Amino acid sequence: MMDEFASESDSDYTSYWRDWFISSRGNEYFCEIDEDYLTDRFNLTGLNTEVQYYQYALDLITDVFDLDCDDDMRETIEKSARHLYGLIHARYIVTTRGLSKMLDKYKKADFGKCPRVFCHSHPLLPMGQTDVPNQKPVKLYCVRCEDVYNPKSSRHAAIDGAYFGTSFHNIMFQVYPALVPPKSSERYIPRVYGFRVHAPAALIRWQNMQRTEMLRRLRKLEVESGFKNDNGEVDLDEEDDEDEDDLDAENDVLIEGTGMNVVG
């Protein structure tokens, strides 16, 4: 009975700062880091060189901070504590316990839902585009369409992506493969008055552009093309005055629209 009471009081005492941090607006993406993980110095290896006032910040996170200082110093240590918590968080969420906590948040769609219509509001998962702090903000990853999105809230968009890292979302789906949904075969089909736009029309335009480009190259090399025009006659027209860069740009647009790749 006494052990149970001591355990509960320790938990209440040591989790005060973390409870405040997790419940603060804009920090909904973070999960609470276990006390055992925070007090194991092996898990914090190297972080002392990346955080200003490291020891004071760690003491604040674990609620043993008892330094009597002015407000400016306290604010600086508080900022360092938030940064330190984020760096530890990136390590913690790839552990078994951390993955489990993030899985619970993922299932409740705490990170938001995919804005793509054909993903049918599939839950998103936070991810970083770099493991280096202060480089890029956090993004949201959808495993159904395998695309990346910006957070809706500006508060979440300001979170450092390094606090989640580049590996977490991939590790999550490796550990829990059942979370990976089947890929959607639904695609938007453009229509005009209910009639589907004829895809070969774009292909024909692209082929014509390629034909014109080929003629230009052959003329430049003074090679007889043998191409015939619509009347069945050999095409001897002078090359167009269109600038080569503009022509290449139009080709790129047409190629992108048809989803075709050109080798040459």
pLDDT greater than 60 at residue 157: yes
pLDDT greater than 70 at residue 226: no
Question: Within this chain, do residues 86 and 32 fall inside the same structural domain, yes or no?
Answer: yes
Question: Within this chain, do residues 124 and 88 fall inside the same structural domain, yes or no?
Answer: no
Q: What's the chain's length in residues?
A: 264
Is 186 within the bounds of a domain?
no
Which pTM value belongs to this model?
A: 0.68
> Which of 5-9, 20-24, 64-68, 151-155 is the least confident region?
5-9
pLDDT greater than 80 at residue 166: yes
Integer angstrom CA distances of residue 155 from 27, 32, 112, 143, 149: 8, 19, 13, 23, 15
Question: Within this chain, do residues 157 and 204 fall inside the same structural domain, yes or no?
Answer: no
∠ CA 120-126-128, rounded to 5°: 135
pLDDT greater than 70 at residue 30: yes
What's the total number of domains in the chain? Answer: 3
Average pLDDT over residues 47-73: 86
Question: Within this chain, do residues 71 and 151 fall inside the same structural domain, yes or no?
Answer: no
pLDDT greater than 90 at residue 165: yes
Average pLDDT over residues 11-36: 82
